[in-house]
Structure formats: structure tokens, C-alpha cells
Structure 1
């Protein structure tokens, strides 16, 4: 696996990645793990990439010249939450479990911790997405709550966890029970 992961290249997403991102998010497991709908078009991805907020970060994972995953940080717009970003991520089904998510998260969290001065990264993940939950926990994300009937997927409502990670130097801030 070490040899495979050394062949993964991470870079900023470009508008020219639209067709390859469409293929990544057309994977059944990928869109089922996100809030995306089945059958995305290249035009949808091109528009998303063109309209990316300049304060947000979208990274792609490249393996053998092909985009195989994407992760993004969306900065909070409210001034009092300027220390927060939300994370979104997707990896092509055929590359799941091969270190793509680890490579993407490593780079996003490096940016978050060392360049963007973010304190808190938030995400939602479906409760049945055990691989993603394991990955997020490996990077210090903690479950903060369960959102019941969070989204409609494959004919039924499914629950999601709210997870977050505080910057490692700030992780000593105690959580209060409510």
C-alpha cells in the first residue's frame, strides 16, 4: 500500500477536472455517501468548479493521471464563525480503501492547521458509512450528535452524525454537556 499511496498526487481542483469529477461522483457508493443525486452531468461539475468561492478549497487526488477523489473545505461566511470550515469529500468506488481519503484529508488538514488558521472543521456523515467514520476518527474528528432523518437516500430517510475536529493545539478546550 505504501507504494500505491506514494503515487497519489494532490492538487487544487481545476475547471478542466469537471468530466473526471462527474465520473467520480457517478459512482454509486460515492453519491450515496454524499448529498449528491445520481447521474450528475459534466455541466453540473463545470458550473460548481466555476462558481467556487475563492475562500474555499477544493482538492483532487490524482492517480496515474486520473482524478479519483475530491475533498473540500467551505469557509463559514459569518464573521463570528470565521474560525470554522465544513468538509466535504468523495472517492471513486474503485479506489475506496486505498489511501485516497487519507491523502486528501492529510493535505486539507495541513492547510487548515498551518495556513488557514482554522480552529474547527465540521462535517456530516451517514451513520452507516463505517469506512468514512473510521477515517474521520483517525484524524481526530469526534461525534457531536446524531441527526435523525437527515436526508432521503435510496427510498428512505437516513440518519447522519455531526462530527467535528478542533485544531490539535486547541483540542484541550473542554466540551460542555447540554
Structure 2
């Protein structure tokens, strides 16, 4: 993998299911996701297909860069998803992020998060973004804090990971400049 090759951030397609499966199922990535082992590629392909349905508000992105052969290779994934069907929480979305081990620490997560935040702030009518992160995932927590997320609480024994219950943090970010009407200065 060429680490100095430029990143391309784009919307995910069903053809990206193998890349999602490879990253999310990787033994160095899976323990830090709220997923279970044995990622099923067909399930991810179905999810990626469904996100293209008119009216769906999910956004799934991939980060890719050229591999050693010059072919595009997915090195990171992220998603922005509604928190539920409640009318009074339509302004809230949750997100997830995964970066291939060979691409961690190279700005891939930041690039994906920046793209998601731009979309949420400028296009998707999102006032509040929420996420869960394992309390021992210091690199991810530092990234989220640098992008304006704040810890709102700790969940003790939140999820089972590799045979042990692990705490998680609830983090959220409010839109830094919520849209107003009429536009200021008009």
C-alpha cells in the first residue's frame, strides 16, 4: 500500500462490500467496532444497495488510495445513519468509522470524518451527531474530540468484546453554526 498516495473519498456502492468486509472483519479492527465476528459480505452488499433507495438518509463513504499495483484499494469506511424513527429525533444521526490497520495513523479517519461532518452540516439538516466508542480506544477518542465531539457519559460494561465486558463512551457534537432563516446579513 502506498502511504503517500492521495486519498479519494467517495460514496460507497454495493461493489465495495468486499472492502467493508475485509476492514470490518480484520482482527485488529473488529474488537473496536460494535460488530460481531464473521462479517457477512452479502449482508453488507444488501445494506449498501438499500442505502441507494430514494428517501434513505444514510450516507456510507469509503476512502481509497492506490495499492502497490496502482489499483484503487479501500482503506477506510464510515457511515452516517438515523438514530431511529422517532419524529422528535430526526435532527440526530449516529456514525461509525473503520480504518484498515495498514492505513491507521495516516489521516484516513480524519479525512472520512471531515467528509461526514461537511455533509451533515451543509446538506443533511443534522443538528446533532452521536457515536459510541470503547473507553480504551484513545486514538479514536482524540480524533473525535479534535473534531468537536464531547463525552456525554460512560456506559459501564456496555458491550462484550473478546469475552470481557468493556465500557464505552457516548460522545456527541452539535452543529457548530446551525442554519438560520433569514440568512444573517440578508
**Is the TM-score greater than 0.5?**
yes
- Unaligned 5+ runs, structure 2: 67-71, 179-186
The residue number in structure 1 matching 2:105 is 97
- Whose radius of gyration is greater, 1 or 2? 2
The residue number in structure 2 matching 1:152 is 160
2:121 touches 2:127 (CA, 8 Å); kept in 1?
Answer: yes
Q: CA deviation at 1:50?
A: 2.4
The residue number in structure 1 matching 2:75 is 68
Please give the secondary structure, in 2, of the residue aligned with 1:62: strand
Q: Greater helix percent: which structure?
A: 1
The residue number in structure 1 matching 2:6 is 7
- 2:115 equivalent to 1:107: yes
User: CA RMSD of the aligned region, Å?
Assistant: 1.7
1:5 touches 1:100 (CA, 8 Å); kept in 2?
Answer: no
The residue number in structure 1 matching 2:182 is none
Deviations 1:144-167 (A, max 9, x none): 000111100011000000000001
Q: CA deviation at 1:47?
A: 2.3
Please give the secondary structure, in 2, of the residue aligned with 1:158: strand
Please give the secondary structure, in 1, of the residue aligned with 2:124: coil
Please give the secondary structure, in 2, of the residue aligned with 1:107: helix
1:60 touches 1:67 (CA, 8 Å); kept in 2?
Answer: yes
Q: CA deviation at 1:35?
A: 1.4
**TM-score w.r.t. structure 2 length?**
0.85
* Change beyond 3 A, Cα 1:4–1:114: farther
Q: Runs (4+) of structure 1 moved beyond 4 Å?
A: 3-6
Task: Count matched residues.
Answer: 168
